[in-house]
Structure 1
Amino acid sequence: MRDPYDVLGVSRTADEAEIKRAYRRLAKKLHPDANANDPKAQDKFAELNTAHEILEDKTKRGQFDRGEIDAEGKPRAPEFSGFGGGRRAGPGGFNGFDGDTIFESFSFGPEGARRNARRGGGGGSGGPGGSSFDDLGDMFGFGRQRRGAGGGSTPPIGADMEISLPVTFEEATQGASKRVGLPNGKQIDIKIAAGTREGHRMRLKGQGEPSAMGGAPGDAFVTISYAPHATFEREGDDLRQTVDVSLPDSVLGTKVRVPTLSGTVELNIPAWTSGGRVFRLRGKGLPNATGGHGDMLVRINIVLPKAKDSELEALMQKLRSTAL
């Protein structure tokens, strides 16, 4: 996978605002729904989301800059002193892991899949606090081909696969169950938790490509994307819509029913409201990074009667004369 900075097209000194702007611009350009004829659209979008996940998180970004994790967010293998680095406890004694074993785990939430480095200090085959052959194999990528009880080797695991799953704004906000069709023909129901954001990445263990040599299948990773909406226009975590108001109502004031992701609400339009005025409904937008929601921005559009009204025209003439 490419360097996250190259994927987003930003420099290594880019601040959070630059990274956010670059992600929004590219997400709109690379979204699978906007590139239906590109067979690699899902892969490009998944790569963008992974890069953004690393660079938007200060901890992960620091780990990547220091070379502790790779472009996929996976921990890099530590170096042995005999292979170009590492440290020794004494003459001939390797102590590159400080007596601990590094494992990789995942946690899931509205922000997507998180990889967490966890250390365990149990005694392995190397003695108290030491690392067993199996632990070392996991860290260096050959753990899936560990030596079996009979002295043989386990067949290699199949390849992982990436899938983009479009959801509506309502489904992301309120939660839903979605059926996903995998490239291998399987149909799987996935639960979308309420408050799920675009870019959330889920791991389906054992649902990837089968092994060509009879081993276990790989994993499938599902990345959430937002489907276009017929009424609302997205602007970050905020949503925009336009509501028509008649000329008399804009002058005298009225109440209008406005759709939101959680149902219709009543919006009070004060007297003498001009066309183009924007009202803000707080917390009625998309899930945001703080666990809350963005806002709904409602723009007023004044509409005239469909049929000509001579009395209205006479009144407008009078108002024009007065203004002059």
Structure 2
Amino acid sequence: MAKPDFYQSLGVPKNASDDDIKKAYRKLAMKHHPDRNQGDKAKQAEEKFKEIKEAYEILSDPQKRAAYDQYGHAGVDPSMGGGPGGFAGGGGFAEAFGDIFGDIFGQAAGGGGRRGGPQVYRGSDLSYAMEITLEEAAAGKDTQIRVPSWDECETCHGSGAKPGTSSSTCGTCSGSGTVHLRQGFFSIQQTCPKCHGSGKTIANPCGTCGGAGKVKKQKTLEVKIPAGINEGMRIRSSGNGEPGTNGGPPGDLYIEIRIKPHEIFERDGDDLHCRVPVPMTLAALGGGIEVPTLAGKAEIDLPEGTQHGKTFRLRGKGIKGLRSSVPGDLYCHIMVETPVKLTERQRELLQELDESFRGGGDRHSPGGKSWAEKVKDGVKDLFK
């Protein structure tokens, strides 16, 4: 099977500059690296990665590129006696490949390390769980929280070394903060295990900070909770996460909202639901009742013969969400209460009422049939 054209593999023209070739390879290597592709795509990604790796090896070397431009694949194939472009050549590709991998994995780790100096890493993000009431979620609030922070050590003034001493350049990485592991054509850059990327070692660490150059403290942050925020939403506080390494930028603080259970209301998006207990006499006779809302109270007119579980909708009495132009609704679910601990007189009245129901036919049945008729229908269904 014929090999693909190296320029086409990288997606660059034949007159592409060295920088264009390097940028194209970096982009494709990030996309097709086997570690970034799993499952069914892994095999296909591995083959593509080998293809672009070979293309970059040839086109990034001036001698190999010239041989390829003049003779094609035959000019760089060692099995065909290829000249300076063969794999048997010097360490040019290994060095270039190591450099490009260092750039790729340095960026992937959040650092994008500098050559010739310690690796710089962004600080980790922090999470803070904040519990608020439903009323606070609906109306919003300004509050304060205390979170851990890092300040420069006052004893060593950030050097990490015991007063009167100083740090020294790391002998393992020569101050670069990274080491290179080579095997064959591969050269992979890793954080120095001796100095952990700082590029220096401290023989006599500061007794206050233990050599870190910083001490943990608490700081107070002002937090604005927007009106309409919901359970699980997060507020981002930029730069208030953990500090970076070797001068890297700090991470962010994410404040995750937790809403306390409410005694009356249950929230469903921008809508609210509540249960309204109603005496059975009021449900039967009908009349006006007061129901609670987050803003106060509202009135509902119960029609005569209101049944248990009946729902009344009050428009605009819910919550105005963060992305809503109008508030949600309040749904009031009627719960008809049956009296308990009756007096003798109340019992007599209920018995009289019950007798009147029995003699009143089906006019008292919400389903249009008397209780006795429903029982008879059920028995007939059993013997069908």
Give TM-score scaled by structure 1 length.
0.51
Residue 178 of structure 1 corresponds to: 143
Please give the alpha-carbon distance, in whole angstroms, between the structure 1 residues aligned to 2:9 and 2:259.
45
Q: Secondary structure at the match of 2:291?
A: strand
- 5+ residue gaps in structure 2? 1-5, 25-102, 150-217, 362-371, 373-384
Residue 201 of structure 1 corresponds to: 234
Residue 210 of structure 1 corresponds to: 243
Q: Secondary structure at the match of 2:274?
A: strand
Which residue of 285, 289, 302 corresponds with 2:336?
A: 302
Residue 160 of structure 1 corresponds to: 125
Which has more helix, going by share of residues?
Answer: 2
Residue 292 of structure 1 corresponds to: 326
Please give the alpha-carbon distance, in whole angstroms, between the structure 1 residues aligned to 2:129 and 2:325.
23
Please give the alpha-carbon distance, in whole angstroms, between the structure 2 residues aligned to 1:85 and 1:267.
73
In the alignment, structure 1 residue 231 sits paired with structure 2 residue 264: yes
- Check 1:224–1:287 CA distance in 2 against 1; reply closer, same or farther (3 A cut): farther
The Cα shift of 1:279 comes to 0.7
Residue 255 of structure 1 corresponds to: 288
Contact 1:196-1:287 within 8 A present in 2 as well: no
Larger Rg: 2
Contact 1:160-1:209 within 8 A present in 2 as well: yes
- Check 1:142–1:87 CA distance in 2 against 1; reply closer, same or farther (3 A cut): farther
* Deviation sequence 1:216-236 (CA, Å, 0-9, x none): 532111232333222122344
Shift >6 Å, 4+ stretches: none
* Deviation sequence 1:42-83 (CA, Å, 0-9, x none): xxxxxxxxxxxxxxxxxxxxxxxxxxxxxxxxxxxxxxxx9x
Give TM-score scaled by structure 2 length.
0.44
Residue 318 of structure 1 corresponds to: 356
The Cα shift of 1:294 comes to 3.0
Please give the alpha-carbon distance, in whole angstroms, between the structure 2 residues aligned to 1:85 and 1:314.
94
* Deviation sequence 1:234-290 (CA, Å, 0-9, x none): 344432211111222212222222122232222222222111111112233344554
Residue 276 of structure 1 aligns to which amino acid in structure 2? G
Contact 2:270-2:327 within 8 A present in 1 as well: yes
* Deviation sequence 1:125-177 (CA, Å, 0-9, x none): xxxxxxxxxxx99x9458866769xx966843321112232332222221112
Residue 158 of structure 2 corresponds to: none
Q: Secondary structure at the match of 1:240?
A: strand
Residue 255 of structure 1 aligns to which amino acid in structure 2? G
Please give the alpha-carbon distance, in whole angstroms, between the structure 2 residues aligned to 1:190 and 1:85.
51
Residue 313 of structure 2 corresponds to: 280
Please give the alpha-carbon distance, in whole angstroms, between the structure 2 residues aligned to 1:145 and 1:234.
45
Residue 55 of structure 1 corresponds to: none
Residue 285 of structure 2 aligns to which amino acid in structure 1? L
Please give the alpha-carbon distance, in whole angstroms, between the structure 2 residues aligned to 1:90 and 1:200.
51
- Check 1:260–1:217 CA distance in 2 against 1; reply closer, same or farther (3 A cut): same
- Check 1:215–1:307 CA distance in 2 against 1; reply closer, same or farther (3 A cut): same
Please give the alpha-carbon distance, in whole angstroms, between the structure 2 residues aligned to 1:296 and 1:263.
12
Contact 1:246-1:302 within 8 A present in 2 as well: yes
Please give the alpha-carbon distance, in whole angstroms, between the structure 1 residues aligned to 2:10 and 2:259.
45
Contact 1:250-1:272 within 8 A present in 2 as well: yes
Contact 1:197-1:287 within 8 A present in 2 as well: no
- Check 1:272–1:223 CA distance in 2 against 1; reply closer, same or farther (3 A cut): same
Contact 1:178-1:191 within 8 A present in 2 as well: yes
Q: Secondary structure at the match of 1:88?
A: coil
Please give the alpha-carbon distance, in whole angstroms, between the structure 1 residues aligned to 2:141 and 2:128.
18
Q: Secondary structure at the match of 2:137?
A: helix
- Check 1:157–1:292 CA distance in 2 against 1; reply closer, same or farther (3 A cut): same
Higher relative contact order (CA 8 A, sep 6+): 2
Please give the alpha-carbon distance, in whole angstroms, between the structure 1 residues aligned to 2:265 and 2:14.
65
Paired positions, count? 202
Which residue of 7, 15, 23 corresponds with 1:91?
A: 15
- 5+ residue gaps in structure 1? 1-81, 98-135
- Check 1:85–1:194 CA distance in 2 against 1; reply closer, same or farther (3 A cut): farther
* Deviation sequence 1:85-107 (CA, Å, 0-9, x none): 7643652232969xxxxxxxxxx
Q: Secondary structure at the match of 1:186?
A: strand
* Deviation sequence 1:174-202 (CA, Å, 0-9, x none): 11123334355433231111122334322
- Check 1:216–1:259 CA distance in 2 against 1; reply closer, same or farther (3 A cut): same
Give RMSD over aligned pairs: 3.7
